[in-house]
Structure 1
Amino acid sequence: MLDTKLNDEAARLAALGRYEILDTPPEPAFDRITQLVRSILGVPMSVVSLIDGDRQWFKSRTGIDATETPRDIAFCNHTIRDRMPLVVPDACSDQRFSSNPLVTGDPNIRSYAGVPLATPDGYNVGTLCAIDTVPREFDPGQIAILENLGALVVEQLELRRIAERDHLSGALTRRAFVAEMDKHIALFRRYARPASLLLFDIDHFKRVNDTHGHPAGDVVIREVAACCDRTKRPNDILGRLGGEEFGVLLPESNAAQAGAAAQRFCDAIAALEIAHIPPLRVTASFGIAEIGPDRISSDAWIAAADVALYAAKHGGRNRVAIAKTDAAQPD
């Protein structure tokens, strides 16, 4: 029977995209698995490889310096085309790989064993593989170990996805939001792509809790998040950073464009009538920082926006302030 999911590239890429993991920093949960592969199978190299449209990108790697390679030379690009493991005892004698630059040059792959990483809905988004620089056989027991560890990789992908959402607001958690910031920092470093960060606090939120109770405060959090979700562009990213503090990441936006967007958010929140007896109204204060050479870590970028947020709050609240390039004097 034809396995249609192995040939549906658009759906496979969509499945990979749902994990929102490409270009994120290394994570111990994945690194432990590649280290186990290296140790148990006795190989010098192991990677968790995710196959994007035109590249393979390594979520975890041991023994390999590169972070990605072109897809068309990736052994793992062959592995994802099947449900079964791919085993190559000697790449130099395999016509598919003998002239491959990963075989003839660094990292000098000679033998390979890879298992596909299949999502719960059946799409192979990548592989877990063991790589050696000498010809070798991988016995059935070793392949079974690799398959079991591959299942652990998929479990980690699923757990990571579930943990990315704040249960109350539906926005990204702080950890997931910072991971998105790191992706855009990487894009800025590599391609000088613009992006801006909005930080905002719900004004006088403690007063809401003290006057109406914490259940009312929870309703305010949910409604403000829903309002922002309706107001943002499809590619904008909303996160709850803690308590009543939120962040919005605006890709491809400079400070002026972010300022206009922040004012839309600010006005939408101020116009919101939140169902309660009596109905509740709240406002929010916004600080904006465009990415730049002095903001190429998530901490520095957040700190710059936080300076502007402080200025907005101390300027009367329910307003927008933009951090200058040096993040010292907000507009």
Structure 2
Amino acid sequence: MDDRKLQDEAGRLLALHRYCALDSTNEPNFDTITSLVRDLLGVPICAVSLIDEDEQRFKSIQGAEIAGTPREVAFCDHTIRTHGPLVVSDAEQDERFADNPLVTGEMHVRAYAGTPLTTPDGYNLGALCAIHRRRHDFTPGDIELLKRFARVVVDQMELKTLAHRDFLTGALTRRAFTEASVKALGQLKREERSATIAVIDVDHFKKINDAHGHPVGDKVLKSISTRINGQLRSSDLFGRLGGEEFGMLLYATTRTEALNCAERMRAAIEALREGDNPPATISIGLAHVDPSRSIEDALAEADAALYEAKRSGRNRVVCAGQMNHSVAA
């Protein structure tokens, strides 16, 4: 795991929101895992914990009636700051936790073992943890079991995201893209930063379908989507808005940075040659978005810039507010 990911709190929170992991409180699928781990380790409490900006939320917990805690007291907040498991045999003797209200209060946490829930792109979203109310030494076998079941939890989260992704291209669905963008803008507002929204359209896509058939058209869309998505950062968002139209949210970018990024993508698609797929080009409309604006307004402005890109010849990038400064092929 990259050390930089441990320091990238903004990226971690965006990953958490991409998984739509906070849309509900309890996850029944996780209950089976926490119940099994509790029985196998012989502990009174086992939980799947996710760490949001200011709070810890339990997506499943066995052995305690609690939905969450402030982040500042969460043992799991310490766990997500590490590459591996966190093990505390006696919290009362550990200076990090001796005065923690989870130790001194009704929960009476005395021993803790937690392993991070790490996404495929390297972000720790939370932890799978086992808790004793008395001093306890967790064995290497206990920790290995926690690590294995933590991977199962992440796999379950990955499967859940499939419902939010377009089957053909793997991009977020329009609804998922919009919802994730709203959450990203909320994060940007707290950071006092801005972003850029892009709307992308495959040029003359109907002609490709008419000339080569819809199966070939599907391959073209998939190739373009893969190439674009491969150039984005983990903090960016990519969705299929409908048909041959896609959307991007470029996180914390200036107009110049976004324009350069979009131009690189346009050029990459123009140069793309994959198998027997016919060549294709894209047009891109950009809109710089302040977090105080709605995502719908930003998409509408980017769509207007896209219309200008298509009207002025296609295979180019146009930024809203700078309609006379399009980047032509």
TM-score range, shorter chain: 0.5 to 0.7
Deviation at 1:306, TM superposition (A): 2.9
Q: Is 211-220 or 166-175 further displaced after alignment?
A: 166-175
User: Where does structure 2 lack aligned partners over 5 or more consecutive residues?
Assistant: 39-43, 60-65, 136-145
Q: Distance between the aligned counterparts of 1:227 and 1:124, measured in 2?
A: 23
Conserved 8 A contact 2:118-2:154: yes
Name the residue aligned to 1:222: 222
Matched with 2:279 is: 281
Q: 1:306 is matched with which residue?
A: 303
User: Quick check: 1:195–1:251 contact (8 Å CA) kept in 2?
Assistant: yes
How far 1:19 moved relative to its partner?
A: 11
State the SS of the aligned residue for 1:201.
strand
Which AA in structure 2 matches 1:48?
Answer: S
Aligned partner of residue 280 in structure 1, secondary structure: coil
Instruction: Quickly say closer, same or farther: Cα 1:20–1:295, change in 2 above 3 A.
Output: closer
For residue 56 of structure 2, give the secondary structure of its aligned residue in structure 1: strand
Aligned to 1:291: 289
Change (3 A) 1:120 1:20: closer
1:31 matched to 2:30? The reply is no
What residue identity is the alignment partner of 1:308? A
Q: What does residue 139 of structure 2 align with?
A: none
Give 1:258 shift: 1.6
Secondary structure of 1:317's aligned partner:
coil
> Shift in Å at residue 214 of structure 1?
0.6
2:143 alignment partner in structure 1: none
Distance 2:204 2:88 in 1: 59
**CA 1:157–1:30: 2 relative to 1, 3 Å:** farther
1:49 match: 50
Task: Work out whether residues 198 and 287 of structure 1, in 8 Å CA contact, stay in contact via their aligned partners in 2.
Answer: yes
Superimposed CA distance per residue, residues 145-169 of structure 1 (whole angstroms, 9 cap, x where no aligned partner) = xx8x978744422324666765544
Q: For the residues of structure 2 that align with 1:81 and 1:272, how far apart are their CA atoms?
A: 40
Give the 3-state SS of the residue equivalent to 2:197 in structure 1. strand
1:221 is displaced (CA, Å) by: 1.2
Alignment of 1:2-151 (within 5 A): 21-24=15-18, 26-28=21-23, 31-33=26-28, 48-50=49-51, 58=56, 60=58, 63-64=67-68, 66=70, 68-69=71-72, 74=77, 97-100=97-100, 110-111=108-109, 116=115, 126-128=126-128
Letter paired with 1:21: A
2:196 is the alignment partner of 1:201: no
- Rounded to whole Å, the distance in 2 between the matches of 1:21 and 1:233 is 14
User: Retained in 2: the 8 A contact 1:288–1:323?
Assistant: yes
Equivalent position amino acid for 1:223 in 2: S
Match of 1:322 among 316, 319, 322: 319
Rate the CA distance shift 1:216–1:265 in 2: closer, same or farther, 3 A: same
**C-alpha distance in 1 between matches for 2:117 and 2:235:** 29
The percentage of counterpart residues that share the same residue type is: 32
TM-aligned CA deviation for residue 274 of structure 1: 6.0
**Taking structure 1 as reference, are residues 208 and 323 closer, same or farther at Cα in structure 2, changes over 3 Å only?**
same
**Which amino acid in structure 2 is aligned with residue 317 of structure 1?**
R
Q: Counterparts of 1:60 and 1:211 in 2: how far apart (Å)?
A: 53
What's the TM-score once normalised by structure 2's chain length? 0.60
CA RMSD of aligned residues (A): 5.5
TM-score by length of 1: 0.59
Structure 2 equivalent of residue 245 of structure 1: 245
